[in-house]
Amino acid sequence: MRSSWRAVAAVGLTSTLLLFVPSSRPFAQDSMLRNIELCNGSDRNSAESQIKGCTALINSGAPTSFGLAIAYNNRGNAYANSAEYDRAIEDYDHSLELNPRYVRAYNNRGVAYEKKREFGRAIENYDAATQLDSSYVIAVANRAGAFTKKGEYERAVRDYDTVIKLQPSSKEGWRGRCWAHAQLGELNAALKDCNEAIRLEPDSAVYDSRGFTYLRMNQLDLAIADYSAALGMNPKLAPSLYGRGLAKLKKGDKGGGNRDLIAAKAVDSNIANEFKHYRIKGE
């Protein structure tokens, strides 16, 4: 489903690890501090170095249980960034065994399950995070994204309502709610949300969402303009190519419409089926 790329991006959060280093040996102390830096993600371009740093700390016996929970969480994030989601989940499990109230670890485990497309288990973890901290906006936004991917748009809208209440400048909240409203056929509400997202920070996804909204409203010139804006930012965006093609066909531009449809299918062979799911007929 197209919502899988549109929903709010799941976020894995690294916690800063501060440990007391008891050794009086300068070399051992320097080595420990370097591992702490790596486990904290100081080398942001290398998941491997973060894994090595966290593993060294975990095996050293130096961290307190609190610090060990952070080390497992951070290593889990590095595994998740390497698409090793099962290993990430195992580390988040260890982290939560050590600190059952570790909100970030619940969120991050939800992210890993979401990447595995186990949306129910992802939502369970986001629920746990928000039960511990109802103002933890990242988990609420991630849960909204998971509901969107499941096609549970009313529940997604409710979560996006909360995101926007907690963080009124969240472009992801406005953009996500726009898409959910559009899927529910609440087109005026969708248009209002997309307009606000574009005011905050325009990107290809929100122009595509507004183009889709205009397409459903049969405002074809506006749909084409927004799809074209999206494609100006991302020329290989299959939903915008396909949506613009449909709008052109509806206006009688068979040549231009068919060219866009062919280009969309070259990028994503399943795009026509996705639009059928959205109850918009193709060629």
Residue 26 reports pLDDT greater than 80: no
The pLDDT of residue 1:
42
- Name the CATH architecture for the domain at 34-116: Alpha Horseshoe (1.25)
The pLDDT of residue 65:
87
The pLDDT of residue 4:
41
Q: Could you tell me the pLDDT band of residue 13, with boundaries at 50, 70 and 90?
A: low
Q: Do residues 29 and 13 make contact, with C-beta atoms less than 8 angstroms apart?
A: no
Q: What is the largest CA-CA distance in the chain?
A: 80
The pLDDT of residue 41:
79
Q: Report the 10 Å Cβ neighbour count for 265.
A: 16
Can you tell me the distance from the alpha carbon of 69 to that of 74, in angstroms, rounded to the nearest whole number?
9
Across the chain, mean pLDDT equals 89
The pLDDT of residue 9:
44
Topology alike, domains 34-116 and 202-283: yes
The pLDDT of residue 39:
87
Q: Could you tell me the pLDDT band of residue 36, with boundaries at 50, 70 and 90?
A: confident
Kindly report, residue by residue over 206-237, the tens digit of the pLDDT: 999 999 999 999 999 999 999 999 999 999 99
Kindly report, residue by residue over 50-75, the tens digit of the pLDDT: 899 899 888 987 778 888 999 999 99
Can you tell me the distance from the alpha carbon of 197 to that of 173, in angstroms, rounded to the nearest whole number?
8
Q: Could you tell me the pLDDT band of residue 267, with boundaries at 50, 70 and 90?
A: very high
Q: What percent of the chain has pLDDT over 90?
A: 74
The pLDDT of residue 10:
53
Q: Report the 10 Å Cβ neighbour count for 124.
A: 16
The pLDDT of residue 15:
61
The pLDDT of residue 218:
96
The pLDDT of residue 121:
98
Can you tell me the distance from the alpha carbon of 280 to that of 9, in angstroms, rounded to the nearest whole number?
26
Q: Report the 10 Å Cβ neighbour count for 226.
A: 27
The pLDDT of residue 282:
55
Residue 278 reports pLDDT greater than 90: no
Q: Could you tell me the pLDDT band of residue 256, with boundaries at 50, 70 and 90?
A: very high
Kindly report, residue by residue over 174-205, the tens digit of the pLDDT: 999 999 999 999 999 999 999 999 999 999 99
Can you tell me the distance from the alpha carbon of 218 to that of 281, in angstroms, rounded to the nearest whole number?
13
- Name the CATH architecture for the domain at 202-283: Alpha Horseshoe (1.25)
Which residues, including other chains, have CB under 8 Å from residue 3's CB and lie 6 or more apart?
A: 148, 149, 151, 179, 183
User: How large is the angle between the packed helices 47-60 and 26-39, nearest 10 degrees?
Assistant: 130
The pLDDT of residue 43:
64
Intra-chain end-to-end CA distance of the chain, in Å: 19
Domain ranges of the chain: 34-116, 202-283
Which stretch of 31-35, 108-112, 154-158, 251-255 has the lowest confidence by average pLDDT?
A: 31-35
pTM summary value: 0.86
Can you tell me the distance from the alpha carbon of 88 to that of 81, in angstroms, rounded to the nearest whole number?
9
